Amino acid sequence: MRFLILPLLTFLTACATETTFIKPDIPPETLTPCPISERQVKTVNELAVLATEHLRSATCANGKIEAIAEVLAS
């Protein structure tokens, strides 16, 4: 009986005439770009603000990558 399982599975998969791909449902807000600051730095304080803005943009991008990976894994 166990010897019939493998040939039976190959016959069942051979019945499909076309391959259909299922598109994952990714929320639209994860596909929007994260804002990146174009601030011109003139002082050390502005450099600190720019670094904080870039860190916030990187955190935004990493969150979106994790959300897309979660959708693709499910």
Please enumerate in sequence order all residues whose Cβ is within 8 A of that of 67, keeping only pairs 6 or more positions apart, or say none: 27, 30
Residue boundaries of the structural domains of the chain:
24-74
Tens of pLDDT along the chain (74 residues) come to 566 666 666 666 656 677 788 888 888 888 999 999 999 999 999 999 999 999 999 999 999 999 999 988 87
pTM of the model: 0.63
Dihedral sign computed on CA atoms, order 56, 60, 65, 71: positive
User: What pLDDT shows up at residue 53?
Assistant: 96
User: What pLDDT shows up at residue 22?
Assistant: 80
User: What pLDDT shows up at residue 73?
Assistant: 87
